[in-house]
Amino acid sequence: MERQGNIKISSENMMPIIKKWLYSDKDIFLREIIANGIDAITKFKKLVELGEASAPEEEYCIKVSVDEKAKTLTVEDNGIGMTEEEVEKYITQIAFSGAADFVSKYEKANGDGIIGHFGLGFYSAYMVSEDIEIFTKSYRDESAVRWESDGESTYTISETDKAERGTKIVMHIAEEEKEFLKESEIRSLIQKYCSFMPYPIYLNFTGKDDKALNTTNPLYLKNPKDCTDEEYKEFYRSTFHDYNEPLFWVHLNMDYPFNLKGILYFPKVRRKVELDRGQVKLYCNQVFIADNIKEVIPEYLMLLNGVIDCPDIPLNVSRSFLQNDSQVKKITKHIVKKVADKLTALFKNEREKYETSWPDLANFIKFGCIKDEDFYDKVKDIIIYQNLSGEYHAITEYLGEKISDADAEAGKEPKTVYYTSDVVGQAQYVKLFKDAGLDAIVCDTFIDPHFISFIEYKEVGRVSFKRIDSDIDGALKEGDSTEEESKEIVELVKADLADRKLEVKAEKFKNANVPAIINVSEFMRRMNEMNSFYAMGEGQDEITLVVNLSCSVVQSLKDLPEEKRKLLSNQIYFLAILSYRKLTSEEMEEYTANNLALMQSYVG
């Protein structure tokens, strides 16, 4: 006999809210409905294990079907099913959790593998449906039940003739949501949200030859010792559609004090000017929750690709956001530790592979250190830099002893470490350094300017970084010049370049073939770089033209007539600038004109 009743909710306005705002993405409804089916099968399997039900002959599975003509989307499981009483309890009483009730009743089942906790997942289907029917038959020897509601707070319930155990949800898709009637769209959603669910999921099932759209036993659930390198690579390719082999990976496999499984891959980044965001997929009992959830995955680990499955994470009602919980912080710390341990083991045991991988790892590790000082403390001894000879050394090898406050007051400075940010563009300076028997490290990624400042902050009093174009005093001199000689050349060059408003110095270099170089204030250049990075405008670098008294071209300035000397001084200036940076279009035009005038002055 058919009868009517009211859906039991605390407010008449709750259904419209649920239909519109329960989830941030409408397409999540399919995950929720399929996950409910998975739960139904898991519950039935546990009853079989407990001897409360007989084992079935058929395969446990979920069948999804699309009927574009009838405008229906159907999800059917062969799980535990429901009696009329259970339908009244779990469907009509919004937020009454059938999962929680089941675990409470069968304590020996302990809830492992059961996904739902809130009882709201079913109602997500109303975000895309104008009417929903439920056909269900319990494993108990009771009549099958049909339930129907258009989501406007009333429903009808009656007996039906469904013969097989399980539940079938028929969603009548609303006109404005008809994209969910396309098989390709549903296939894509199943692969996105349900790719690792524990029972086969079939779309438009026709028979034995159908292939499930999901992998029921993903690699991350296996014991690491049972996995081969090729299996790890294949799982990476199929999950992330990246056909560049990963550098290496970390297999997470923890049962205590919390349950955590997963694999994190270190991808090849192909040296780009900015960090590419990776994709770390978070699952709960093999149900996809979301990508890159910052409460579990620190921002810097999102540069990796990976899968993490943690049934212990405390999900809120929509399963897409985490509640603030101390357990989450413990999980995060464990993941970070495992990543640091993997990097350290590779550095110690496979140094050659580590150095070969460093160009792909460098930005990730440096970014991680800046974002998380605890991570820096774990990996600081394995941060490496190339020197001018191409050899890698740990950055800790370059650090000096920390100077005391008394030493600092006495004028003692931290150890200076020189660096180049562009080996090719700063080739003139690199050669001068090599000729002087000096070394420098190569800092040629976009994150290095920020990272060396971070190192100075973390290792305060131990190190000071200077780019090789910021300081040549002492080390690059061939010998002392007389004050009179220096003063004469400096005054001549200053007069010739008066319009350029720059400082001029004169020194003797070991290399007599370099007429001059540009010296840049390290402090001001860093300030300008920081302002530019934060879109605060870029100021002018404070530069000094250092002319080489060992160079015969520079010495010839004393004997030239003013007009020709001015042309030569400008030529020396432009050559120095070219060794420091590219000329602007205006400077290039001026340089070309000066070059031509200089040549003409020598040919009459």
Predicted confidence (pLDDT) at residue 293 exceeds the cutoff of 60:
yes
Predicted confidence (pLDDT) at residue 394 exceeds the cutoff of 70:
yes
Predicted confidence (pLDDT) at residue 17 exceeds the cutoff of 70:
no
DSSP letters along 286-306, please?
TEEEEE--TTTS-GGGGGSEE
CA 511 to chain centroid, in Å, comes to 47
Q: What is the mean pLDDT of residues 332-354?
A: 95
How far apart, in Å, are the Cα atoms of 410 and each of 57, 404, 406, 463?
Answer: 87, 10, 6, 17
Do 16 and 127 touch, CB atoms closer than 8 A?
no
CATH class of 3-203: alpha beta
More confident residue, 133 or 270: 133
Going by C-alpha positions, the residue among 385, 413, 414 that lies closest to residue 397 is 385
Residue 129: helix, strand or coil by DSSP?
strand
Q: Residue 114: pLDDT band by 50, 70, 90 thresholds?
A: very low
Q: Residue 11: pLDDT band by 50, 70, 90 thresholds?
A: very low
C-alpha to C-alpha distance for 98 and 86, rounded to whole angstroms: 9
Q: Domain 483-518+541-603 in CATH: superfamily? A: Heat shock protein 90, C-terminal domain (1.20.120.790)
Going by C-alpha positions, the residue among 269, 419, 424 that lies closest to residue 358 is 269
Q: Residue 110: pLDDT band by 50, 70, 90 thresholds?
A: low
pLDDT in tens, 46-86: 999 999 999 888 999 999 999 999 999 999 999 999 999 99
Residue 123: helix, strand or coil by DSSP?
helix
Instruction: Count CB-CB contacts under 10 A for residue 123.
Output: 23
pLDDT in tens, 22-41: 566 788 899 999 999 999 99
Going by C-alpha positions, the residue among 229, 224, 226 that lies closest to residue 338 is 224
pLDDT in tens, 466-488: 999 887 665 566 666 678 888 99
How far apart, in Å, are the Cα atoms of 220 and each of 14, 114, 250, 254?
Answer: 40, 19, 10, 11
pLDDT number for residue 479: 62
> Is CATH 3.30.230.80 the classification given to domain 219-339?
yes
Residue 282 token pair: 């978070």
Domain extent listing, the chain: 3-203, 219-339, 383-467, 483-518+541-603
Predicted confidence (pLDDT) at residue 259 exceeds the cutoff of 50:
yes
Q: Which residue has the tokens 């357990």?
A: 327
In CATH, which of 2.30.30, 3.30.1330, 3.40.50, 2.40.10 is domain 383-467?
A: 3.40.50
Burial class (CB in 10 A: 0-12, 13-18, 19+), 85: exposed
Q: What is the mean pLDDT of residues 143-165?
A: 92
More confident residue, 4 or 358: 358
Predicted confidence (pLDDT) at residue 223 exceeds the cutoff of 90:
yes
Q: What is the mean pLDDT of residues 141-151?
A: 93
Say what the pTM is: 0.80
Q: Which residue has the tokens 């550098």?
A: 247
Fold match between domain 3-203 and domain 483-518+541-603: no
Residue 504: helix, strand or coil by DSSP?
strand
Q: What is the mean pLDDT of residues 386-411?
A: 87
On the question of a cis peptide bond just before residue 16, with omega within 30 degrees of 0, the verdict is no
How far apart, in Å, are the Cα atoms of 40 and each of 107, 168, 171?
Answer: 17, 11, 18
